[in-house]
Structure 1
Amino acid sequence: MRALLIFAALLGLACVGFGAFGAHGVSDPKAQEWLRTGALYGFVHVLAVFAAERYGSPVPPALFLAGVVVFSGSLFAMGFGAPRWFGAITPIGGLSFMAGWAALAWAVARRQA
């Protein structure tokens, strides 16, 4: 779990950096939107990793982190000039986010009070 938390912290750092670059370093409105969206979703799910850690299952944090890498990563890539078809993998990251939330609900439901 420690490695997941370290990875989450580094992704949080990246999300702040990419979000700041989107706000100040690019002029294309579509690139700004991609960078902003990737940073927002990424940062929210990085925080979710730290919240989910207390339930003991590594599954929700791993799914959240996979989602950040795929969802946010594909948007960041397009914001830096990757071809638009690259966005076809973005929904896979979204599904990973959703699976992470479902796994977290399951972990909370199974936990004894």
Structure 2
Amino acid sequence: MAKLFFILGSINGFLFVALGAFGAHALKPRLEAGGYLETYQTAVQYQMVHTLAIIAVAILIHYSGATGLLNGAGWAFFIGIVLFSGSLYALSITGISVLGAITPIGGVAFLAGWAMLLMAAIK
């Protein structure tokens, strides 16, 4: 599972850099005109932080051999990125406000990931 989380972390690292640059340059006029620049930047920031968390989980699994809670944390962080950041990207680009209803589900996934990481540390 460590290898899979390294791969997911690497893909997400590539994506947050590319999407951040795209938002800061090519999409910036459109995002500013729609009032979504801050929303887009929030998506990039949360993707960045939780990508690093996925890579940290991969390292912890690799060196400790522990899986259970760490696997859960890694998947929760990944699901959080897809739902939280993904919905904010989609909302920012399309302006479809109903997509914002998905964002809190991703936020809960992030919280679950951090809780599982804490439980793994205490265990």
Tell me by how many angstroms 1:21 deviates: 1.4
Tell me by how many angstroms 1:82 deviates: 4.8
CA distance in 1, matches of 2:6, 2:17: 17
Counterpart for residue 7 of structure 2: 6
CA distance in 2, matches of 1:76, 1:61: 21
Q: Is 2:21 aligned against 1:16?
A: no
Kindly indicate whether the alpha-carbon contact (under 8 Å) linking 1:22 and 1:33 is maintained by their aligned counterparts in 2. Answer: no
| One-letter code aligned to 2:47 | G
CA distance in 1, matches of 2:84, 2:73: 16
Q: Deviations over 1:11-55 (max 9, x none)?
A: 121111111111112213233222211110011001011112305
Consecutive unaligned residues of structure 1, counting only runs of 5 or more, are: none
Aligned alpha-carbon RMSD (Å): 1.3
Tell me by how many angstroms 1:80 deviates: 1.7
Consecutive unaligned residues of structure 2, counting only runs of 5 or more, are: none
Match of 1:86 among 66, 85, 99: 99
Counterpart for residue 97 of structure 1: 110
Match of 1:64 among 57, 64, 77: 77
CA distance in 1, matches of 2:92, 2:26: 11
Counterpart for residue 35 of structure 1: 40
| One-letter code aligned to 1:12 | G
Counterpart for residue 51 of structure 1: 56
Tell me by how many angstroms 1:87 deviates: 0.8
Counterpart for residue 109 of structure 1: 122
Aligned length: 110
Identity %: 38
CA distance in 2, matches of 1:34, 1:21: 14
Q: Which moved more, 1:25-34 or 1:62-71?
A: 25-34
CA distance in 2, matches of 1:89, 1:80: 15
